[in-house]
């Protein structure tokens, strides 16, 4: 074997982004006839999201597959991937993930010493609450809702009238259980894997945005590889995107039944409700598209797919 790359990530092995790493590693193994090995360190063994991102920048971690929201602090255009209702379904996400518009945004990470090889998916986000199921805009009013405190998420959640409350990921369970928060916007996978269904029972399937992960490699390292190796890595990443994303879609369907069996009420957001949400979020999407041509191009392409 000519080359071993360490890939660290911050999620448990049941998480879709671990699946992304595994699929990528398998593709690389096949395409390189075993001459390139991807050594995966799951579950924060090499550090959390921020450390892994810095590790790839500094060259202490070769690769990671990391939540895109963390990268928005470096390259604001990355926010394009999480604008609400710009992409509606997993199939559309899979198409957009390999679009030239998405690649242009990932290329911008090159300024920070990283190369984005591929855009994967960690699970579409929905709304989990401890009180009544939220079925209308009124239901959001004043709910203490855990969100990651980025500018984008604060704008998105302020726009619908909740009280966005920053809280560490590990504190969500006890926050819901004790009532320190009333709700959380989250993916079905985490509701299951973190046992959140014990503390909160009502899910509204809002599907407001996705939770993408970007496969990153240190830039100097990548540029030092042979052209053939570079091609193998790029093609392996690209080839593993669609199957990974669609596997998450299937897994979500499975989870709806699993969670329902555990006593969770799962309610589809009505078309009317979704229309109201889209209307509330339109100004947010517009202001982000206006702020960056890369975002504008991505939004335009995504919307053209919807029509």
Partner 1 sequence: MIWLGSIFFLTLAMGVPIAFVLGLSAMGYFIFTDNLRFLVAIPQRMFAGQDSFVLLAIPLFILAGNLMDVGGLTQRLVGFANSLVGRFRGGLSLTAVWGSFLFGGVSGSAAADAAALGTVLTPDLKRQGYHEDYAAALIGVSSIMAPLVPPSIAMILYGALSGTSISKLFVAGIVPGALLAVILSAYAVWIAGRRGYPKLPPMGLAEIVRAGVNCAPVLLLPVIIIGGIRGGVVTPTEAAAVAVVYALIVAGLWYRALSLPRLRRVFLSTAMMSATIYLLIGFAHVLSLIFAMERLPQTVVTALNSVSENKWVILLMVNLILLVLGMFLDTVGILILTVPALMAIGQQLGMDPVHLGVIVVFNCLIGFATPPVGLCLYVMSGVTKRPIEKISLHALPMVGLALVVLAVITLFPQVVLFLPNLLVH
Partner 2 sequence: MQARDLPPPLTRFVRGYVAILETLLISGVAAVVVIATLQVFFRYVVGASLSWSEEALRYIMIWITSLGLGLAYSRGEMIGMELLVHLLPPRAALVVTQAGRVLVLAMMLTIAWYGWKFAWKTRGGTATAIPVSMFLIHISVAVGSLLVALHVAATLVLTFCRGTEPRSTEFHIPEIAE
Contact 10, 48 (CB under 8 A): yes
Choice between 54 and 278, CB closer to partner 1: 54
Q: What residues form DSSP beta bridges with 193?
A: none
Strand 125-129 and strand 183-187: the pairing is antiparallel
3-state SS record for 10-56: CCCCCCHHHHHHHHHHHHHHHHCCCCEEEEEECCCCCCCHHHHHHHH
Contact 9, 40 (CB under 8 A): yes
Given candidates 19, 24, 55, 255, which one binds partner 1 under the rule CB under 8 A?
55
Min dist CB 237 to partner 1, Å, is 24
Q: Return the structure tokens found at 20.
A: 């992304």
Which residues in the 111-170 window bind partner 1 by CB under 8 A? 167-168, 170
Contact 172, 196 (CB under 8 A): yes
Contact between 4 and partner 1 (CB under 8 A)?
A: no
Min dist CB 231 to partner 2, Å, is 28
Min dist CB 144 to partner 2, Å, is 7
Contact between 224 and partner 1 (CB under 8 A)?
A: no
Contact 7, 41 (CB under 8 A): yes
Given candidates 27, 51, 192, 292, which one binds partner 1 under the rule CB under 8 A?
51
Choice between 56 and 96, CB closer to partner 1: 56
Contact 63, 225 (CB under 8 A): no
Contact between 45 and partner 1 (CB under 8 A)?
A: yes
Choice between 40 and 134, CB closer to partner 2: 134
Interface contacts to partner 2, rule CB under 8 A? 54, 57-58, 73-74, 111-113, 142, 144, 148-151, 154, 163-168, 180
Contact between 41 and partner 1 (CB under 8 A)?
A: yes
DSSP state of 135: -
The site for partner 1 (CB under 8 A) is made up of 41, 45-48, 50-51, 54-55, 58-60, 167-168, 170-171, 174-175, 177-180
């Amino acid at each position: 074997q000519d080359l071993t790359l360490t890939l660290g990530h911050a999620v448990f092995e049941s998480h879709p982004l671990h699946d992304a790493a595994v699929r990528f590693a398998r593709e690389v193994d096949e395409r390189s006839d075993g001459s390139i090995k991807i050594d995966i360190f799951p579950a924060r063994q090499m550090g959390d999201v921020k450390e892994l991102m810095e590790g790839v920048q500094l060259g202490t971690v070769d690769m990671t597959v990391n939540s895109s929201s963390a990268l928005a602090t470096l390259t604001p255009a990355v926010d394009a991937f999480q604008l609400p209702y710009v992409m509606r379904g997993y199939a559309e996400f899979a198409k957009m993930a390999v679009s030239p518009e998405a690649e242009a945004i990932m290329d911008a990470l090159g300024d920070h010493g990283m190369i984005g090889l591929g855009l994967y998916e960690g699970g579409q986000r929905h709304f989990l609450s401890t009180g009544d199921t939220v079925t209308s805009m009124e239901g959001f009013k004043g709910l203490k809702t855990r969100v990651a405190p980025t500018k984008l998420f604060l704008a998105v959640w302020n726009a619908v009238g909740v009280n966005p409350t920053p809280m560490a990921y590990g504190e969500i369970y006890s926050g819901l259980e004790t009532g320190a928060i009333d709700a959380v916007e989250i993916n079905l996978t985490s509701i299951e894997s973190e046992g959140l269904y014990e503390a909160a029972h009502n899910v509204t399937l809002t599907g407001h945005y996705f939770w993408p992960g970007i496969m990153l490699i240190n830039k100097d390292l990548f540029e030092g590889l042979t052209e053939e190796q570079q091609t193998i890595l790029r093609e392996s990443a690209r080839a593993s995107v669609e199957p990974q994303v669609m596997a998450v879609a299937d897994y979500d369907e499975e989870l709806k039944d699993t969670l329902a069996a555990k006593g969770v009420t799962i309610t589809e957001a009505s078309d009317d409700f979704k229309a109201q949400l889209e209307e509330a979020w339109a100004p947010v999407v517009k202001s982000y598209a206006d702020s960056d041509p890369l975002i504008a191009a991505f939004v335009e392409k995504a919307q053209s797919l919807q029509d």
